[in-house]
Amino acid sequence: MTISLHPSTLPAVLSPVLTPFKADGSPDAQKLLKQCKWLESNDVGQAVFGTNSEANSMSAPQKMSTLTALIEGGLNPEHMMPGTGATSIDATVNMTRHAVNHKCAGVLMLPPFYYKDVTDDGLFAYFSEVIQKVGNSALQIYIYNIPPVTKINLSLSLLERLSKEYPKTVVGMKDSSGDWAYTESVIKLLAPSGFRVYAGSEVFLMRTLRAGGVGCISATANVNPHALADLAAHWKDANADERQAELDKVRSVFAKYQMIAGMKTAVAHFSKDPEWLRVRPPLMQLTADQQAQLLSELKQINFSMPGL
The whole-angstrom separation of Cα 88 and Cα 291 is 37
Q: In what order do the strands lie in the sheet with 107-109?
A: 45-46, 13-15, 215-217, 196-199, 170-175, 141-145, 107-109
Beta-carbon neighbour count of residue 117 at 10 Å? 7
Handedness of CA 12, 263, 49, 29 (dihedral sign): negative
CA 213 to chain centre: 15
The whole-angstrom separation of Cα 37 and Cα 134 is 29
Q: Is residue 22 annotated as a catalytic residue, yes or no?
A: no
Q: Binding residue per annotation — 217?
A: yes
Q: Is residue 142 annotated as a catalytic residue, yes or no?
A: no
Handedness of CA 55, 45, 21, 176 (dihedral sign): positive
Tell me how far CA of residue 306 lies from CA of 152, 178, 270, in angstroms. Answer: 39, 30, 8
Which of 142, 174, 198, 264 is flagged as catalytic?
A: 174
Which of 126, 144, 198, 264 is flagged as catalytic?
A: 144
The whole-angstrom separation of Cα 301 and Cα 25 is 33
CA 74 to chain centre: 20
Q: Which residues are catalytic?
A: 144, 174
Q: Which residues are annotated binding-site positions for pyruvate?
A: 217
Q: Which residues are annotated binding-site positions?
A: 217
